[in-house]
Amino acid sequence: MLRIWLVGFGTVGRWVAEALYAQTDQLVSRYGREVTVVGIGNARDGFVYHPDGLDLGSVLAAAAGGRPITGQPGARVWPTAIEGLRATEADLLVEVTGSPPADGEPGLTHMREALRRGIPVVTSNKWPVALHGVELAGLARSRGVAFRAESTVMSGTPVLSTLTEGLAGTVPVALRGLLNATVNQILSPMAEGTSYQDALAAAQRAGLAERDPAADVDGHDSVAKLMILSALVFGRQLRRDQVARQGITGVTGRQARDAAATGGRVRHVAALAFAGPDGAGTVTARVRPEALPADDPLARIDGVTNALVFEASPVGQIVIAGPGAGPQLAGQGVLADIIATARYPARKSLAKNGAGNRPLFGVTRS
């Protein structure tokens, strides 16, 4: 049994709760692990906890009906999530609150609380990881538990697990990427003559861009993702002011058409490189519009898509591309992280139940 605290019950939190509710049997049959949500928190209602598991259908119905999520039979309630976390037990924290770029709170405090107690963390919450990723990953490592943040970069496209697990043992050298799918959607039609203002308005009508699009078009979101890649893939913590940032608001239709005339494209490129191996030495980190030649793999990426070109020794260049916007993608990345964590239970619980290194599912040899 994997007991989950789910902190943040907005778009992503509810998507995850619905997926866990709908896939209860499948999680047991495919992954050999029963998953139950014992605690749920949001800002408005506080934190609700039942040690035997909450009725997700009932909590989801309360949220959908605008009723407090805390009115669950037999459950205990705290006014804030952090008080609930401190007073209760679980095997995994799923942290999906929204946290501002200034300090990454309240997510940072929630994650530190869990990791310090040896409880693994899965999160889609960008800024705590961008600002403190090395600390959080180090804390997890020191406690022998997982810290996973797949959805923070390229949402449901599995980039962090590919770079840190699929390419484990390689030496990361550098990367370049298109890390904001909304921005890519705005730049794409500009190659055919659409103005920036018209492309932005179309993205807003489609629900892709916010009414205030600054986080995307000014490049702040891509800066956060570049900082996360630096922390979790290269092991190097960057400050925000170490990433040079230029948004796309100054890109003209003429620049976009000129690049397209020779088969290239103007794209918003996030780039990261270090003078030494494994994130050592002087860092070059920047987010800016660039006119890419036709043979650049990033020039071929159109629409609501993210892509990353990653260089590692000795494998060379790896290109990863995939969809990168929408709560179902972020939710899917969180679900994949939950399943990955469930497959490899924490050292603490292994020691407690005396299971040693024996896997809790899959093939066991006697």
Ligand X SMILES: NC(=O)c1ccc[n+]([C@@H]2O[C@H](COP(=O)([O-])OP(=O)(O)OC[C@H]3O[C@@H](n4cnc5c(N)ncnc54)[C@H](OP(=O)(O)O)[C@@H]3O)[C@@H](O)[C@H]2O)c1
In the complex, the residues that contact ligand X under the rule CB under 6 A are 7-13, 41-44, 81, 96-99, 106, 124-126, 151, 155, 326-327, 330
Element (H, E) at 284: strand 283-292
Burial of 326 (0-12, 13-18, 19+ CB in 10 A): middle
Q: How far is the CB of 160 from ligand X (least distance, A)?
A: 13
Contact in structure between 10 and 16 (CB atoms under 8 Å): no
CA atoms 225, 228, 232, 238: torsion sign? positive
Residue 70 or 99: the one with the smaller Cβ distance to ligand X is 99
Q: How far is the CB of 39 from ligand X (least distance, A)?
A: 11
Residue 221 or 290: the one with the smaller Cβ distance to ligand X is 221
Q: How far is the CB of 347 from ligand X (least distance, A)?
A: 28
Q: How far is the CB of 38 from ligand X (least distance, A)?
A: 16
User: What DSSP string describes 187-241?
Assistant: HHHHTTT--HHHHHHHHHHTTSS-SS-HHHHTSHHHHHHHHHHIIIII-----GG
Contact in structure between 247 and 217 (CB atoms under 8 Å): yes
Residue 75 or 260: the one with the smaller Cβ distance to ligand X is 75
Residue 12 or 285: the one with the smaller Cβ distance to ligand X is 12
Q: Residue with the closest Cβ to ligand X?
A: 10
Burial of 357 (0-12, 13-18, 19+ CB in 10 A): exposed
225 is catalytic: yes
Q: Is 120 helix (H, G, I), strand (E, B) or coil?
A: coil
Q: Name the residue with tokens 């005339």.
A: 261
In the set 126, 225, 348, 352, the catalytic residue is 225
**Best CA proximity match to 238, nearest among 111, 141, 133, 103:** 133
Residue 108 or 271: the one with the smaller Cβ distance to ligand X is 108
The token duo for 271 is 């780039």
Q: How far is the CB of 125 from ligand X (least distance, A)?
A: 4
**Best CA proximity match to 129, nearest among 56, 23, 218, 226:** 226
Enzyme catalytic residues:
225
